[in-house]
Amino acid sequence: MLDLRGRQAAPASRLWNVAKTLLQTLVFWSVFLLAIPALIWLAETAVGLSAWRFDDPWLRQFGIVLVVLGGSLGLFSGAVMAFHGLGTPLPVDAPREIVVRGPYRFVRNPMAIAGLSQGVAVGLMIGSPAVILYAVSGGPLWNILVRPWEERDLENWFGEAFRLYRQEVHCWIPRLSPYDPPPANSASAVDQAVVNADAPHTKGEHA
């Protein structure tokens, strides 16, 4: 089994992190929301599945609204991560600080939700069931292939602060009220208490 590990970003200015995040977002959109749906559209035609396409103006308009909302959520979430986390969403250029701001106070993975919403929106706009299926399948695939090692990295980097966050904020279903993280020193105290509890006691240490 592959032992995938992320890497935290090198120290850089907030402006540079935001710029990198914007570039990554544009590349993501170009590949996953333009190039791959276009290839799926061509494949549908090649194998004779174009008859399954639909042309509903209401669904198309809903798709336009959804792609705008999803894009706005994705851009805002990425900017919040870059500015407050001092890194980017890319696993090999990951945040140096845990991010519990903006949309991350309601759900742990707003950027994935935004991306999946945009994928479904593209399928609605072009009337392609195959593109919608492609977009919806991204959720389970991310959950199986990416989430385990990404969360392992976050736990290694941020310790009890991330464990508390994961316990209180769901990955896919938003909270109704924003999560308020405990003070940083309280999470550090819990981690230190765990370390002390696990450390072997020497003679004369017991109070």
**pLDDT per residue as tens digits for the range 121-134:** 999 999 999 999 99
Mean pLDDT of the chain: 89
First to last CA, the chain: 47
Residue 117: predicted pLDDT: 97
Residue 4: predicted pLDDT: 74
Does domain 14-184 bear CATH number 1.20.120.1630? yes
* Rounded-to-integer distance, Cα 56 and Cα 120, Å: 15
Higher pLDDT, 4 or 140: 140
* Rounded-to-integer distance, Cα 155 and Cα 70, Å: 28
pTM of this prediction? 0.84
Give the residue from 199, 157, 198, 158 showing the smallest Cα distance to 182. 158
Higher pLDDT, 192 or 100: 100
pLDDT over 70 (residue 195): no
> How is residue 74 written in tokens?
């994705």
